[in-house]
Amino acid sequence: MQAYNFRLCYTKIPANCLPHTAPPGYDPARYELLARYLETLVAAGKPPKLDELWNPIWMPNGKTDINNNGGFSTDFIGASHRYPEASWAERSEIWTAHEHYIRGFVFFLATSPRVPANVQQEMKEWGPAADEFADTGGWPNQLYVREARRMVSDYVMTEHNCRGETKAVDPIGLAAYTMDSHNCRRIVRDGHAENEGDVQVGGFPPYPISSHSIMPKWSECQNLLVPVCLSSTHISYGSIRMEPVFMILGQSAATIAALASESRVSVQEVDYDKVRARLLADGQILEWRNKPAAQ
């Protein structure tokens, strides 16, 4: 289970910048590994910069969509394992724990004397955008759940699909993003802390997604389509899980459902040729063909 985080909307515009505040029960010792990491970089003559510790993606009006960057950042590594099977009450506890971790991470960088002065000074210039998430104090109101439960169906999308080594013969859309997994856990090995699970492998062209990967097994359910928690491995889901792809799969699922209703059959019994014809008529792209560059 890869790490979750909150995607932060921060700004450097003083008039719209909320101050850093410590989370309840803040303890700087929780970030001892971060402190040692920063001190080691300085000692090695490689003084860190703030953008090496988080990834601010600039948005309009001087705001950012901040994501994890590096081995110690906004990802709360190892804290999301219970989430997929947790009750709503337990999930609420997980959301709160992630918020406190990230608030503490930012507060530590802005205030700890063990943080290099350049990093500390720059972090003090940042803060949550006051005009975003006003009902939750400038803090995102949803945890970014990168991955949770997924269906296992008759067709499982895998790394081989992403690489083009296996090709679905019943495509309902294309995916193309890098096989992307954030770290899953942090362990101690031979006296050193190590992160496990980070994968960033791309460079492949768009590839087709099987219609059967969004359909449950016949023996389990005959009238359901699952365009988001589809049947895929952890690695292939890291590529498929982009919002535009979910929209593509949502349209395809609706098309299959409509055809099933028209024919009065289950979704598994819908003639794929009819699905393909309807999708193509609606402008869905089912096959990737490299186009020559414009002259």
- Residue 127 has φ and ψ, to the nearest 5°, of -175, 160
Mean pLDDT of 230-245: 97
Chain-wide mean pLDDT for the chain?
A: 95
Other C-beta atoms lying within 10 Å of the C-beta of residue 200: 10
Query: Using 50, 70 and 90 to split pLDDT, how confident is the model at 157?
Result: very high
Token output for 160: 């081989």
Residue 107 is predicted with a pLDDT of 98
Regarding beta strands 63-67 and 55-59, do their DSSP bridges make them parallel or antiparallel, or are they unpaired?
antiparallel
Given a cut of 90, whether residue 2 has pLDDT beyond it is: no
Going from N- to C-terminal start, the domains of the chain cover 10-136, 159-281
Model confidence over 34-76: pLDDT tens digits?
999 999 999 999 999 999 999 999 999 999 999 999 999 999 9
Structure tokens, 31: 């970030």
The mean per-residue pLDDT over the stretch 134-156 comes to 93
Which residues, 6+ apart, have CB-to-CB distance to 295 below 8 Å? none
What size, in residues, is the chain?
Answer: 295
Which distant-in-sequence residues (6+ apart) come within 8 Å of 194 by Cβ?
186, 187, 188
pLDDT given for residue 295 in this prediction: 43
* Residue 291 banded pLDDT, cuts 50, 70, 90: low
229-258 burial string, b = 16+ CB within 10 Å, else e? ebbbbbbbbbbbbeeebbebbebbbebbee
For residue range 112-124, list pLDDT tens digits in order.
999 999 999 999 9
pLDDT computed for residue 120 by the predictor: 97
pLDDT at residue 3, rounded to an integer: 87
pTM for the model: 0.89
234: confidence class by pLDDT, cuts 50, 70, 90: very high
Confidence class of residue 90 from pLDDT cuts 50, 70 and 90?
very high
